[in-house]
Amino acid sequence: MSAETLAIIDGHYYAYKFHFGMPFLTGPGGRPTGITYAFANLLKDLRDRPEITHWVAVFDAPGKTFRDDLYQDYKATRSPTPDPLIQQLPDVEALCAANGMTVIKIEGYEADDVVVTLAKQAAERDIDARILSRDKDIDQVLSGRIRTWDPTKGLLRGPEELLAEKGLTPAQVIDYLSMIGDSSDNVPGIDGIGPKTAVKLLAKYGTLDGVLAHADELSAKQRENVAAFLPQREMVRQLITLRDVAGLPAIETLRLDRSQPVDRAVYNAFGISAIRFAAARCRRGDSRRLPASLGQQQLSRADHGQPGRVPRFAAHGRPLRDRYRDHRPRSAHRRAGRHQLRLRRRRGLPWRGVHPLARHRQRGVA
């Protein structure tokens, strides 16, 4: 692995992921903060990883892109963006700025175009690019230097993983997506050809051009569908192909400066204390210790609720013991209790008083 690594966050991808994956949380004044809190967790995770030397967040700019000019029904079938997500996007951008992270939005282009352009520029400078996204369009630029990354699961996806997962090489991704289309973006494909059939045809003929050159070897229905697809083939290819974007910040300006303190006022404005946030990570069983710079400072009333008190985990830089080890719902506790009662009955052991669920029973021995 190279000495330097650029982490590129697909902002809208993670915003949607956190919107549907996080509980609905509110901050001061009732403002939604679930996505904001999850992003704070993500940024903290990246700062704690020494291999990350550069970082950047990329968001979709408002307005139309060149793809809307090519195809007026592009993304026409998508549901409207949820209001809580829209409300938190400015907060997320402010949170990134509070961590010293550059936020990029380019009019006329989608975030994916900007993401792959940055990844290519980093690879040219011998910097590994880790793209925090699972958008299938990103697969077309995967290489030894450019990989998608899920930091939560620790999964890196490159050309080898793509081949094992889908049976494709990065060079075949554009042809593959052109054949199957993209229902999420309302991009048409070849009717009757799904992912499995497309992979088989590409494995046999190599490219979409190879498939078209051997159209006479296809079934009659497939030949008919291929012929109907030909007039829009070039448009579909342009919709799917990610373009290079000019005028982006130099890669060196995206360097992560860990000596720069986090702007705690921004965190507090969203009801997220930087120190309490780190403490919550320890309570969830995080094995990483708090930074020494965080552990030596006194906590204010907003940070801890008790001015002047420095908790043990903060004063000594030790991880807090897991006080909430069991978060199972009450029904799970009841099932566990009944299971223990059944075991004791089978073994002929007394069960009175061994579990709260047994208190209402009057029998002495099972």
Structure tokens at 193: 């050809």
Same domain, 152 and 17: yes
| Alpha carbon distance 86, 92 (integer Å) | 10
Query: Residue 234: what pLDDT?
Result: 95
Say which residue the tokens 């995206």 belong to.
254
**Spatial contact of 65 and 110, defined as CB atoms under 8 Å apart:** yes
Would residue 278 count as lying in a domain?
A: no
Q: Do 144 and 231 lie in a common domain? A: no
Residue-wise pLDDT tens digits, 314-339: 333 333 333 334 445 566 666 777 77
pLDDT in tens, 62-82: 999 999 999 999 999 988 999
With bands split at pLDDT 50, 70 and 90, how would you rate the model's confidence at 287? very low
Residue where a domain stops, chosen among 204, 220, 254: 254
Residue 351: which of 362, 338, 336, 341 has the closest Cα? 341
Q: Do residue 183 and residue 149 come from a single domain?
A: no
The arithmetic mean of pLDDT across residues 58-65, rounded, is 94
Number of domains in the chain: 3
36 with 150, same domain: the answer is yes
Q: Are 89 and 34 in contact (CB under 8 A)?
A: no
Helices and strands per DSSP (H, E), number in the chain: 17, 6
Which residue is listed with tokens 């993304």?
75
Joined tokens for residue 245: 């974007």
Largest CA distance in the chain: 82
Please, which pLDDT band fits residue 301 given cuts at 50, 70 and 90? very low
Q: In whole numbers, what is the pLDDT of the chain averaged over residues?
A: 82
Identify the bridge partners of residue 146 per DSSP, sorted by sequence position: 129
Same domain for 129 and 206, yes or no, is no
pLDDT digits (tens, 9 = 90+) for 123-182: 999 999 999 999 999 999 999 999 999 998 889 999 999 999 999 999 999 999 999 999
280: Cα separation from own chain's centroid:
21
Is 348 domain-assigned? yes
- Both 86 and 65 in one domain: the answer is yes
Domain encompassing residue 21? 5-158+245-254
Q: Which pLDDT score, from 0 to 100, does residue 348 have?
A: 72
103 and 249, same domain (yes or no): yes
Same domain, 119 and 194: no
Domain of 220, CATH number, reads: 1.10.150.20
User: Is 271 within a domain?
Assistant: no
* Contact call for residues 35 and 9 (beta carbons, < 8 A): no
Please check whether residues 219 and 176 belong to one and the same domain: yes
CATH number at residue 24: 3.40.50.1010
Buried b / exposed e over 303-320, threshold 16 CB at 10 Å, is bbeeeeeebebbeeeebb
**pTM (predicted TM-score):** 0.74
Confidence of residue 303 (pLDDT cuts 50, 70, 90): very low
Asked if residue 256 has pLDDT above 80, the reply is yes
- The C-alpha atoms of residue 89 and residue 74 are separated, in whole angstroms, by 23
Phi (first) and psi of residue 208, to 5 degrees: -65, -35
In this prediction, what percent of the chain has a pLDDT beyond 70?
A: 78
- Examine residue 114 and state whether it is found in any structural domain, yes or no: yes
Residue 42's contacts (CB-CB under 8 Å, 6 or more residues apart) are 9, 14, 132, 151
- Same domain as 192, residue 63: no
3-state secondary structure of 272: coil
Q: Quote the tokens at residue 200.
A: 């088989």
Average pLDDT over residues 80-85: 92
What pLDDT is recorded for position 169?
A: 95
**Domain finish residue from 183, 216, 240:** 240
Same domain for 180 and 117, yes or no, is: no
Q: Is the pLDDT confidence value at 1 over 60? A: no
Same domain, 130 and 215: no
